[in-house]
Amino acid sequence: MKTKTFSLIVMAFAVTSQVLAQGTPKLELTVAEAKVNLTRAEKSGRAKIMYKPGDVIHYTITAQNVGDGVMTSPVVTDPIPAGVVYVPMSAKGEDTIITFSINSGITYQNWPPTYTVKDADGKEIVKNAPPEMISHIRWELQKPLAPNEKKILEFDVKVK
């Protein structure tokens, strides 16, 4: 399996923390992207990895405190890339609370996120949001992140 690793653009993730004791925490995020359903030629390296509708991409986010202070309550938020759809129940992260946004990161809900519509009589009906509506995933780490400590956060998407 080939993995492409790159540093994240600051706008792609929102990170918050509080400083505990002395030192300054600094969260560094790295993303690895891997096509799950590689062809034989892609696996062997004979063919360039190409994406087509239905292909699944696994994202692994490594969140590491590269500072010299303890980071408490870090939050990592990732927008779902354009051209793909979140795969339900694929978001993972040990000791995290994972929530989802269907409104471009304005609000977050547990799975499954819901939205309200009005029927023909004006009665409000609550519906589960389909995966296509997921715009962002947020991981709230539940334990402090010590200097040099890492957390692995994951999710899958399917190419539209």
Sketch out the chain's domains with CATH numbers.
Answer: 4-97+138-159 (2.60.40)
**What one-character-per-residue DSSP string does 16-47 give?**
EEEEESSS---EEEEEEEEESS--HHHHHTSS
pLDDT at residue 5, as a whole number: 42
pLDDT at residue 12, as a whole number: 33
pLDDT at residue 54, as a whole number: 97
In the block, tokens 């539209």 appear at 160
pTM score, two decimals?
Answer: 0.84
Q: CB burial class (10 A; 0-12, 13-18, 19+) of residue 122? A: exposed
pLDDT at residue 95, as a whole number: 97
User: How far apart are alpha carbons 55 and 160 in whole angstroms?
Assistant: 8
CB of 1 closer than 8 Å to CB of 43: yes
Residue-wise pLDDT for 53-81, tens only, equals 999 999 999 999 999 999 999 999 999 99
Model confidence at 124: pLDDT above 50: yes
Confidence band, pLDDT 50/70/90 cuts, at residue 22: confident
User: How far apart are alpha carbons 90 and 39 in whole angstroms?
Assistant: 22
Element (H, E) at 118: strand 114-118
pLDDT at residue 111, as a whole number: 97
Select from 65, 54, 60, 142 the least CA-distant residue to 99: 142
- The three-state secondary structure class of 133 is helix
- Lowest average pLDDT, out of 20-24, 43-47, 77-81, 128-132, goes to 20-24
- Lowest average pLDDT, out of 4-8, 54-58, 101-105, goes to 4-8
User: How far apart are alpha carbons 153 and 111 in whole angstroms?
Assistant: 16
pLDDT at residue 19, as a whole number: 40
Amino acid sitting at position 142: Q
Distance of CA 123 to the CA centre of its chain: 34
